Amino acid sequence: MIYVTGDTHGDIERFKAADFRKLRKGDTLIICGDFGFIWNGSKTEISTLKKLSAKEYTIAFADGCHENFDLLESYPEELWHGGKIHRISRNIVHLMRGEVYTIENKKIFTFGGGHSHDYEFRKDGENWWEREQPTHKEITSGLKNLYANDNKVDYIITHEPPSSLKDCLRVDVFERLEVHAFFEELIKTCQYEKWFFGKCHIDKHIPLKFYAVFNNVIRL
């Protein structure tokens, strides 16, 4: 089975919650950005990753705003379920931007990244990376991959919400990036069942197809 949850921000306690304990061997857990367990390469972090690597289910995460992209991009790149990933460990993978994966016969389009609203208080290369913001090249690649799938997928997984949802959610209402325009275009041109995003740190269904997800673990 496939499950989706929100940002974990390096909090191992999240994986002890009741919703996480329902995952079984062979399941896939998708995290909508800000995984947070690849941040400083410390002994504690390495130990925590080993604990997560012992899980019997797969942990697949899109990147968010708060990632160490230097570390993340140092992991080997490979193909997984039809799309490109960074292989973190046996059962942990980073889902790259603009890729389409086929998992349990479901097509899933992922597009991580976004914008840190507190970036002016962060230091480049230390706790903030410009690569958090998706590039035009990544957007173009995503469009090509969707076109190759006839612009039809079952699920869309992102970190940022589409800009049209920002006002109703009252988050980042004045923030507009190229990726937000891209997402608005997907709403019009792509066929999908549900769209999940994690940045807002709330659990809320926005009819008809949108889901802000944080603590909940939702079965697809």
By the 10 Å C-beta count (0-12 exposed, 13-18 middle, 19+ buried), 201 is classed as: middle
Token pair, residue 45, equals: 């972090």
Structural domain for 97, as ranges: 2-219
CA-based nearest residue to 2, from 95, 77, 64? 95
3-state secondary structure of 21: helix
Residue 126 pLDDT: 60
Residue 117 pLDDT: 64
Q: Which phi-psi region, left, alpha or beta, contains residue 216 (left: φ > 0; alpha: ψ -120 to 50)?
A: beta
- Phi (first) and psi of residue 182, to 5 degrees: -60, -45
CB 83 within 8 A of CB 100: yes
CA-based nearest residue to 199, from 186, 220, 183? 183
The number of folded domains in the chain is 1
pTM of the model: 0.92
Residue 73 pLDDT: 93
Token pair, residue 160, equals: 């940022």
Q: How far apart are CA 41 and CA 47, in angstroms?
A: 10
Any idea what the Cα angle at residue 217 is, between residues 214 and 220, rounded to 5°? 120
Residue 173 pLDDT: 45
Q: How far apart are CA 91 and CA 134, in angstroms?
A: 26
pLDDT mean by block of 10 residues, the chain; 220 residues = 96 92 95 93 92 96 91 96 97 97 98 73 61 88 96 96 75 66 92 94 92 95
Residue 114 pLDDT: 80
Q: Kindly state the helix (H) or strand (E) to which residue 189 belongs, with its residue range.
A: helix 178-189
Q: How far apart are CA 53 and CA 16, in angstroms?
A: 15
Token pair, residue 195, equals: 């769209």
Partnered with residue 2 across adjacent β-strands are 28
